[in-house]
A and B are shown apart, each in its own frame.
Chain A
Amino acid sequence: MAKEGGIYRLMATYDKRWVYVVLFIVVLGPLINPIGMPIGISALTKNYYAQLNTLQEGDIVFDTWNMEFSGYMELKPGVLATHKMFIEKGVKLCIAFGHYEGVALPGEIFKQLQTWLDRYDYREGEDYIIIGYVFPNEAAVAALAQDFHANVRVDWKGNSIEGTFLDDIQNAGDFDMISDYTTGLATTYMINHMVLQYGVPMVENSIGVSVPGHLANLDAGLLTALLASTRGGAELEYLIGSPGPGLKSMDAFTLGHYSLMIFIIVGNIGHYGWTRRTGAKDRTGIK
């Protein structure tokens, strides 16, 4: 591989697949036997924690799981930690899905939360109701925001929702808070039709991809709090003092980042050495 340019060229133009292999190793390794590195808490997460603490017992939260299973994999720590807070506070949850894979989530999530459910005797039907997949598109969100009961008649198992705490909900404005976990599915619609129209405070668990966009919304006051990706979740776990998947995966997280940085450094050294010797060029989108 190393022709003219020698080692430098090698450093500048190694086979991509090495990156893949290394990434696999640095992620799987610490997960199988954790190291337990310390972490820092970001201001975003502190704010999120504070916002959730404003909830009172008996408040009704619209809990929208707008994520595929993949999104859940990233948001897991945040989801679990947030729901632990909800359960602890005795908040009532109205759970909705924004993606058809959502039906796989409750089993998984409530299995993780079992101990907490038992400890606070938190029951489906009384304390939380799963209304299922109700957000196929923007129209559905808007309709539901305007008239809840005309669009939701049964929960995800087909039982009627008459005579539950949802009777107090006429439109989106009757929720005390929207807690959203998003891979960017129905979230924009919810901001448009629920937050903007009825002024419900909305806290957001966002995957890293959507974080930049939601930072703008946060700054514009459309969101009240933002929990960023796995890392935010881990920090929240730290704040509520109940370690979970997040903190466990932070080692892998750190190493993953560091390995990319190392690759970047190596690449740059190689790039310099190589291009200085042979006027060779390598290409990317940046002019």
Chain B
Amino acid sequence: MTVLVVSFLLVFVPYFIPWGPLDWLSGKLMTIAAVTNAFTIVIAVYSQFRRSGRFIREKRKGWVYHIYLLVLLAIMTLSGFILGQHAGAYEWLLLAVVTPLSSVIYGILAFYMASAGARAFRARSPQAALLLVAGFIVLLYQAPLTGAFFPGIEGAATYITNTFGMSVSRMFSISVSIGAIVLGVRMLTGREVAFLGFTEGEE
């Protein structure tokens, strides 16, 4: 707890009271924190290993996939360290597997959004009707072709996005920041200790 508060103050205060040594210290603390956080990847990987290990040991359905996964992981890591990041299996896998799939995985969301939109944009209540109309106008504007033929659409669309849409985002960022602040204070005043891994049982 004390560590928490102290480290908080050491980074928090210098932002408002510019004073050489303090700035230096806070800067260093930030770097340290950054590096410390970087270590958590090891834990994530460890838990991945444990899970796969369980699958393989108990010969659960699909355990072969887990062996494949671990092998791939090993190749990737070793090659990355031994041959460096710009050569060998590491680079090849990066180009052949990681980069395409990371695009696909997010790209698939386009389909989900399409089907969701096609299902949800039905004028069945005032709210839904508003959603439908607004969404439709903006969609219409976003199709580049429309802009070429009816420049007028831009006015309507930007009016929707830059006023209503923007206000929603703004309201939201306001309320969330409030929430974050309050939660932060709760943590600092020790009202929220669960995040340190204490659970209700221990407290």
Contact = CB atoms under 8 A, between A and B. Distances in A.
Contacts of A271: 122-124
Interface of A: 12, 16, 19-20, 23, 37-43, 68-71, 73, 101, 103-104, 136-137, 139-140, 142-143, 146-147, 150-151, 157, 211-213, 215-216, 219-220, 231, 234, 250, 253-254, 256-261, 263-264, 267-268, 271, 275, 282, 284-287
A275 B142 CA distance: 31
A212 B161 contact: yes
Contact of B151 (A40, A68, A231, A260): A40
B122 A146 contact: no
Interface in B12-54: 23, 26-28, 30-31, 33-34, 37-38
Interface string B127-148: 1100110001001101111111
B144 A250 contact: yes
A267 B119 contact: yes
B2 to A, nearest CB: 20
A267 B111 contact: no
Contacts of B165: 212, 215
Contacts of B94: 101, 103-104
Interface residues of B, number: 62
B86 interface: yes
B175 interface: no
Given A69-B102, A150-B31, A215-B161, A37 B118 contact: no
B95 to A, nearest CB: 7
A39 B145 contact: yes
Given A40-B148, A73-B107, A258 B143 contact: yes
